[in-house]
Amino acid sequence: MKKVLLVAGHTYPELSVANKEIVKELTAAIPGLVVDDLEKLYPDFKINVKAEQQKLLDADVIIIQSPLFWYSASSLVMRWWEETMAHGWAYGSTGTALKGKKIVFGITAGAPTDVYTSGAYGITEQDILNRFKISAGFCNMEYLGGRLTGGLLNAGTGVLSDDAKKAVKEHVDWIIKTIG
C-alpha cells in the first residue's frame, strides 16, 4: 500500500470552504492519508524544514492542494515549497532526496474554470499548472498531473453551492484516479 501525503494550506483559513471540503473528502477516501495542514502547523509561516522533509521522504505520493492566489499557489504553500525543497536536498547536483516520488497538484479558484481554459485573463490553466510541473521536474519528481477547478468562490456564506459541491467531488475523484 502506497503512502500518500497531502500538503494543504490556505493563507486565509477562515475563508476556506472548498479546500477544507477537498481535504475532508480525500481523508475519507484514501486509507492512511497523512494530512499536512500547513495553516494549523505554521500560522506564523515558520516552517519546520526537517520535519517537512521527513514527511516527504516517508511518502510515495504527494498531493499539493491549494487555492489559486495571483496565478500561483497560496503564499503559505509557496513558503513551504521554497523552504522545504532546499538546494542540495531536493534539487541541485546533490539534491536527489525526492527522485522518483510521485506528485499531483490540486488548485482551486474562485473564477469559473472556463476563464482559465480560454485564457480570458491572459493566462491559461495550462500556464498555471506548468509552473508546478516544472518545479516538480526540477526536484526529480514524477509529475502525475494537475487540476485547476474554478467556480469555487466563497461569497461569505460558508456553504458550498450545489454546483460547487459537484466541482469539489469531480476534483477529488480526479486526484484519486490520478494517484491510482
Angle at 128 between CA 123 and CA 133, to 5 degrees: 145
Q: Could you tell me the pLDDT band of residue 60, with boundaries at 50, 70 and 90? A: very high
pLDDT of residue 160: 86
**pLDDT tens digits for range 64-82:** 999 999 999 999 999 999 9
**pLDDT tens digits for range 122-158:** 999 999 999 999 999 999 999 999 999 999 987 567 7
pLDDT of residue 161: 87
Place of cell 490553466: 125
Helix (H, G, I), strand (E, B), or coil: what is residue 99?
A: coil
Q: Is residue 1 scored above 90 in pLDDT?
A: no
The x, y and z cell numbers of residue 32, run together, are 492512511
pLDDT of residue 123: 93
The reported pTM is 0.95
Mind giving me the DSSP string for 29-91?
Answer: HSTTPEEEEHHHH-TT----HHHHHHHHHH-SEEEEEEE-BTTBS-HHHHHHHHHHS-BTTTB
Mean pLDDT of all residues belonging to the chain: 94
